[in-house]
Amino acid sequence: MSLIKVSARSRTASVAGAIAGVMREAGRAEVQAIGAGAVNQAVKAIAIAKGYLAEEDVHIICVPVFVEVLIDDQERTAIRFLVEPR
Amino acid sequence: MSLIKVSARSRTASVAGAIAGVMREAGRAEVQAIGAGAVNQAVKAIAIAKGYLAEEDVHIICVPVFVEVLIDDQERTAIRFLVEPR
């Protein structure tokens, strides 16, 4: 399953569309963000995707988990949101 | 049910403890944040609370929704996380 990576500069509507697309195809999605700006965009995108998918009677929930990721050989703590149907 | 309000300066461990306490008492919790820094602290607190409650075999999920709130007579958009058992 493709991991949707979100940055502080990601457009929330675009990310929401990606989340909805992956949910329709795979039935679940994973959204990753590092830093407050990115986490905020990810959360807003999930809230928007929730609206899109509710129109199709799919009601999503999310579970935030910490994951350690390597970026330029540096370990960073990311938040990964597991998005699933309720 | 008490609403847990999170700011950018909230300590994540304290908020996590509050979430776990409300979950134990009320079976669900609502966590509100305005702005990227606050949303980030709220998400981290939910991830930590998830760990606390998993030890008690309670597995929490969250649903982020937009809410309009009045602060000093100004309308602001907040993120409210509905935290529930899976």
CA A15 to chain B, closest CA, distance in angstroms equals 15
Cβ neighbours of residue A23 closer than 8 Å, sequence gap 6 or more: A29, A49, A53, A58, A60, A83, A85
Q: What is the pLDDT of residues A16-65, one digit of tens each?
A: 999 999 999 999 999 999 999 999 999 999 999 999 999 999 999 999 99
Q: What is the pLDDT of residues B51-71, one digit of tens each?
A: 999 999 999 999 999 999 999
Residues of B at the A interface, defined by Cβ within 8 angstroms: 8, 35-37, 39-40, 43-44, 46-47, 50, 60-66, 79, 84, 86
The Cα B80–Cα A47 span in angstroms is 10
Hey, what are A85's tokens? 């149907």
